[in-house]
Amino acid sequence: MDFQNRNNTANKFVCPSDRQLALRAKLKAGWSSSKSSEPLRPEEQEAIISVIRRNEEIEVAERQRVGRLVERVEKIKQHAVERGPNCCRLCGDTFGILRPQRILCEDCRQSVCAKCSVDINIRYHTSERTREIWLCRICSETREMWKKSGAWFFKGLPKYDMPRSASATPIPNPGLPGSMAGDAIRAVSVQSCHATPTRPARVKKLTIRVNDSSSSSSGHSDPEDEVDAGNGLSVGGANGDVAKGMSSGRLQREDSFRLRAYGSIRSFIDGGERKLSNSFFFGRQQSQRPSECPEYDSVSMSKLRRESSFLRRGSVSSSWSISDSSGSGSGNSGNSQSQSQFQQHQQQQQHCRDPLLGWLEIAISYREAFHSLDCTMMRARDLPAMDSSGLTDPYCKLNIITPEAHTKYTRWQRTKTVHKTRNPEFNETLQFVGVEPEELGNSLLYVALFDDDKYGHDFLGAAKVCLSTVHSTSQYRISVPLGVEDQYSNAAEMAQNWPNGKMLLSLCYNTKRRALVVNVKQCINLMAMDNNGSSDPFVKIQLKPDAHKNKKHKTSVKWRTLNPIYNEEFYFEASPHDLNKEMLILTVWDKDLGKSNDFLGSLQLGAQSKGDRLQQWLDCIRLPDHFHEKWHCLAPENPAH
Amino acid sequence: MASGGDPKWQKDAADQNFDYMFKLLIIGNSSVGKTSFLFRYADDSFTSAFVSTVGIDFKVKTVFRHDKRVKLQIWDTAGQERYRTITTAYYRGAMGFILMYDVTNEDSFNSVQDWVTQIKTYSWDNAQVILVGNKCDMEDQRVISFERGRQLADQLGVEFFETSAKENVNVKAVFERLVDIICDKMSESLDADPTLVGGGQKGQRLTDQPQGTPNANCNC
């Protein structure tokens, strides 16, 4: 009747936390202590029961509504392809320079294409500023579901009934209308403070029932079993569920995981589908010893641990090979690489997180007498394509990274550019002088590959080589996978000198006016041409060869500045098809009165461009009515000449 | 209770065409006007006859706020102590509380602190509270000044309104404000802190509780 007694009866719903007890002790008025023992009169009971019944109807409708929300998200998940990191998680499109742009979902950190993602504005309540983030459709729908179901408040999904499987999976439910009302009567009559009916279920624990018999090697688990596991995962956590789990003879083993609600909601919503996605990581790990893959980030490792439980169910044994082959197939379709060669590399590349970035072969030797480290860039393979013909003009930039994570030399060494190939043979030796023998043990050689272009150098891939294995006696040869951008590659790019400055350009194809909108936003670090150490810059814009005979446009002149801000828009009539053949030419000039204008720099954008320029051009055609903004470097040549 | 057969209620309750569902609870001492307040909001009706609420009752109303349809299930609780065990059971599900006192009744004002303790004890941590001083139309019998009410609200860190169910003063404003606060809280908890989609530390506290039971039977 009172709290003390209730505690002793081991009813876990009633057990108050320490905080509750402490707070109750403070209540001098003592609602709990000076409880009137007068029972409710029958008519009062009836009135209360009628209210509870009414509430029951709402609860049932609510559970069904939440069930529909969950189902909706699940359906989207079922349609997800999950081919691997180089393909859109949802539609399976491969990313690349000529293909959809990769967008990283804020929540699941998986790659998706622009079609399958939503950008939402986030408001920070503390600072009143907004931030735009991208979410894949799954995660944005999951967030919506959390809002709509009230899970955001209870920190876990409330109890729900799935629309279709409601009849197939009768849960021994304490929440059935009849029993509920019965409970309520009892609760009311004993004046218990825990009339449970409206207590919202919340994440108490996640019970994953693992069917340990790995007999289901056929790749399909018994559907009934599947359903049951789904129920076991339900976040309801009502004691009925648990009781069933323990009494069910079919289950040979019950593993209970107490995960953060995050893990539980994710893993249970994705249900069976999830095991596929994560077995991607797991399959990788199986294919080689764990010690050989130090590159897993903590996220995928933790996922891996979590999902390993799914793997035990045996229904996913072959998933790696499936996703693997499909991934390579689609990755291949875009380039002229031969299939066999690709697969051969793939074997080696499996521990590389982003296999399509390519592969670099280096030879390193150390001459102790000169304190000189000789790094020979032998060759690179399978570099990303940067222009529309699928080729690249790669070169390498090298530096040494000290144990304090700084670059040792301010000047980056660079190789010559090898033109028009994705498999360049560099065969060039670069020397680092002044490397002490003891430094070798804890320094790294950093190599970043860039695409050489007049209007900016685009990142291709980067590699770090540990120098501790380099000896003075022999040459050390190694083939390293190329990874993604990091702070050093950015530093390498920044070290590049662009005397002509940069321009921020925003492009948009307006489908209503059937025109390309060019917004010249601003320029920085232009050259000074006038005696006063400044310039009077303006930008000329034209489209060539122009099918619609658009006239040339000019921005206004910004007087006496090297960092002009224009923010001026110009329209060029063109069909999207035309744009594939045309080239946007921007030239920056210094306005001089009385004599001819001085040339300051140029920029060309079009389907013949490379790297970022090509990317922006294609994005603009692919995603019309959106502005695509990018910084570009200005080249010193005047294209008109 | 009588509203059970009300066709309008049935229509509203059965309406599934909404985005969010918020459960709100009105609490406060007996006879401060909780039921009148709810009737004024949900049915736009008022009667000065006093009928003590038996245990608990609720009404459903769907409102339109920020382009979203929000279904409110508003629980009206009995202020009398003998029903306290029933009413506290409903604190758990409530996202928002309207804590009401009567500006003509000193006792009801003094009990506010006790009610806050009740909320802290039984509700979820992030439940939102609004303090409401009702019967502000009865100026001649007023004993609690607006200023005192406001000070208490500041002290408790909640928003404050003075209302009159009889004259329909601020009734709608209170509910709208509470819905806004909850909406804000919702976007804040999810958007500004995506890790919460998975539940933060607060949720963890509760998950600790039932751990013993399954472990006893676990043979791994």
User: According to the model, what pLDDT value does residue A41 have?
Assistant: 82
User: According to the model, what pLDDT value does residue A132 have?
Assistant: 67
Q: Looking at the partner chain, which of A155, A198, A253 has a beta carbon nearest the beta carbon of B219?
A: A253
* Peptide linkage before A545 cis (omega within 30 of 0): yes
Half-sphere exposure of A351 (CA within 13 A, CB side): 14
- Give the residue extent of every domain in chain B: 16-188
Contacting residues of B for A38, CB less than 8 Å apart:
82
Check if A131 contacts B (Cβ < 8 Å). Answer: no
Cβ–Cβ under 8 Å, residues A156 and A261: yes
Contacting residues of B for A146, CB less than 8 Å apart:
190, 197
What is the C-alpha to C-alpha distance for residues A185 and A189, in angstroms, rounded to an integer? 6
For an interface test with A, which of B85, B92, B108 has the most A Cβ atoms less than 10 Å from its Cβ? B85
Question: How far away is chain B from the Cα of A106, in angstroms, using its nearest Cα?
Answer: 9
Contacting residues of A for B220, CB less than 8 Å apart:
253, 255
What is the C-alpha to C-alpha distance for residues A383 and A419, in angstroms, rounded to an integer? 13
Residue with tokens 């501790």: A468
Check residue A603 and give left, alpha or beta (phi > 0: left; psi -120 to 50: alpha): beta
The average confidence (pLDDT) of chain B is 79
Residue B204 confidence (pLDDT) above 80: no
User: According to the model, what pLDDT value does residue B131 have?
Assistant: 92
Residue with tokens 């790696």: A320
What is the C-alpha to C-alpha distance for residues A453 and A251, in angstroms, rounded to an integer? 63
Please report the residues numbered 173 through 202 in chain A whose beta carbons come closer than 8 angstroms to any beta carbon of chain B.
187-188, 191-200, 202
Contacting residues of A for B73, CB less than 8 Å apart:
58
Check if B189 contacts A (Cβ < 8 Å). Answer: yes
Tell me the per-residue pLDDT of B3-13, one tens digit each, with 9 for 90 and over. 444 444 445 55
For an interface test with A, which of B66, B77, B189, B213 has the most A Cβ atoms less than 10 Å from its Cβ? B213
A47 with B187: Cβ contact below 8 A = no
Tell me the per-residue pLDDT of A115-144, one tens digit each, with 9 for 90 and over. 677 666 555 444 455 666 777 777 878 888
What is the C-alpha to C-alpha distance for residues A122 and A548, in angstroms, rounded to an integer? 41
As a three-state string, the secondary structure of A475-541 is: CEEEEEECECCCHHHHHHHHCCCCCCCEEEEEEEEECCCCEEEEEEEEEECCCCCCCCCCCCEEEEE
Secondary structure letter of residue A304 according to DSSP? H
What is the C-alpha to C-alpha distance for residues A335 and B124, in angstroms, rounded to an integer? 56
Q: What is the ipTM of this complex?
A: 0.77
Give residues with Cβ within 8 angstroms of A421, minimum separation 6.
A391, A392, A394
Work out how many CB contacts closer than 8 A connect A with B: 185
Which contacts qualify for A440-444: CB closer than 8 Å, 24 or more apart? A440/A366, A440/A373, A440/A467, A440/A468, A440/A470, A441/A467, A441/A468, A442/A403, A442/A468, A443/A400, A443/A401, A443/A402, A443/A403, A443/A408, A443/A467, A444/A400, A444/A401
Cβ–Cβ under 8 Å, residues A352 and A295: yes
User: According to the model, what pLDDT value does residue A422 have?
Assistant: 87
CA B97 to chain centroid, in Å, comes to: 3
Interhelix angle A42-79/A177-189, rounded to 10 degrees, is 140
Helix (H) or strand (E) holding B184: helix B171-187
10 Å Cβ neighbour count for B94? 28
Q: Which two tokens stand for residue A530?
A: 């006038």
Question: How far away is chain B from the Cα of A65, in angstroms, using its nearest Cα?
Answer: 8
| Three-state SS at B109 | helix
What is the C-alpha to C-alpha distance for residues A373 and A395, in angstroms, rounded to an integer? 19
Residues in chain A predicted with pLDDT less than 70, given as ranges, are: 1-17, 21, 24-38, 82-86, 95-101, 115, 118-132, 164-356, 640-641
Q: Which two tokens stand for residue A115?
A: 């079609």
Type of residue at B193: D
User: According to the model, what pLDDT value does residue A99 have?
Assistant: 64
Check if A28 contacts B (Cβ < 8 Å). Answer: no
Residue B31 confidence (pLDDT) above 80: yes
Please report the residues numbered 247 through 266 in chain A whose beta carbons come closer than 8 angstroms to any beta carbon of chain B.
253-256, 258, 260-266
What is the C-alpha to C-alpha distance for residues A388 and A607, in angstroms, rounded to an integer? 7
Cβ–Cβ under 8 Å, residues A572 and A607: no
Strand order in the sheet with A628-633: A565-573, A515-524, A502-510, A628-633
| Three-state SS at B97 | strand
Cβ–Cβ under 8 Å, residues A599 and A562: no
Please report the residues numbered 117 through 176 in chain B whose beta carbons come closer than 8 angstroms to any beta carbon of chain A.
117-118, 120-121, 124, 126
What is the C-alpha to C-alpha distance for residues B2 and A610, in angstroms, rounded to an integer? 75
User: According to the model, what pLDDT value does residue A519 have?
Assistant: 93
Tell me the per-residue pLDDT of A241-252, one tens digit each, with 9 for 90 and over. 433 434 433 333
Give the number of residues written for chain B.
Answer: 220
A23 with B117: Cβ contact below 8 A = yes
Interhelix angle A42-79/A261-286, rounded to 10 degrees, is 30
Class level of CATH domain B16-188: alpha beta
User: According to the model, what pLDDT value does residue A491 have?
Assistant: 80
Residue with tokens 């072969």: A361
Closest CA to B176 of B163, B190, B157, B192: B163
Residue with tokens 């309520």: A184
User: According to the model, what pLDDT value does residue A589 have?
Assistant: 92
Higher pLDDT pick, A278 / B110:
B110
In terms of Cβ atoms closer than 10 Å to its own Cβ (0-12, 13-18, 19+), residue A59 is buried
In A258-371, DSSP assigns E strands to 359-367
